[in-house]
Amino acid sequence: MSEQTTELITAFLMIIGTFFMFVSAVGVVKMPDLFMRMSSSTKSATMGVTFVLLSAVVYFSDDFGSASRIVAVIVFVFITAPVAAHMIGRAGYFSGSELWHRTVVDELETRHDADRLPLRRALDAEDRINPDKISTGLYEQIQRSEEEKPSTSD
């Protein structure tokens, strides 16, 4: 690969990655509740940093040691970002973060006992045997929220 081609690809990947990272920063400032902020900070930032690191892989592709190290960082970020986001979201939910006032459905609400902080050992035995029960609860929740909400067709 000629030097100019390498630089062109590097610049292209770098610009894409920076765009996604910038969008995630804007999302963290502008989004209305914790979980939307988390969604923007996790997904978009992971994609952005992946593209920027890929541009570094292309740029340092002559030096195998550096390139493989950056690939390791990409893999590591891809593995850890969802885990970290899951843990923060869980902690935020149980430490009483408000949901946005127009949130349609809260799937955890029916399964979570606020008296005992730990997630009500998720599905108890009955629910595990009879999964219809959970989906019914969810369905009713959606129905209820649609009744409360004024019609959006107009």
Question: Which parts of this chain interact with another protein (CB under 8 A)?
Answer: 7, 10-11, 14-15, 17-18, 21-22, 24-26, 28-29, 34, 37-38, 41, 45-46, 48-49, 52-53, 55-56, 59-60, 63, 65-66, 69-70, 72-73, 76-77, 80-81, 83-84, 87-88, 90-92, 94-95, 97, 117
**d(C-alpha 122, C-alpha 112), whole Å:** 7
Nearest to 52 by CA among 70, 27, 78, 37: 70
Decide whether 87 or 104 has the Cβ nearer to another protein: 87
- Least distance in Å: CB of 96 to another protein? 8
Residue count of the chain:
154
The H or E element spanning position 122 is none
Six-digit token string for 65: 């040691």
- Least distance in Å: CB of 130 to another protein? 30
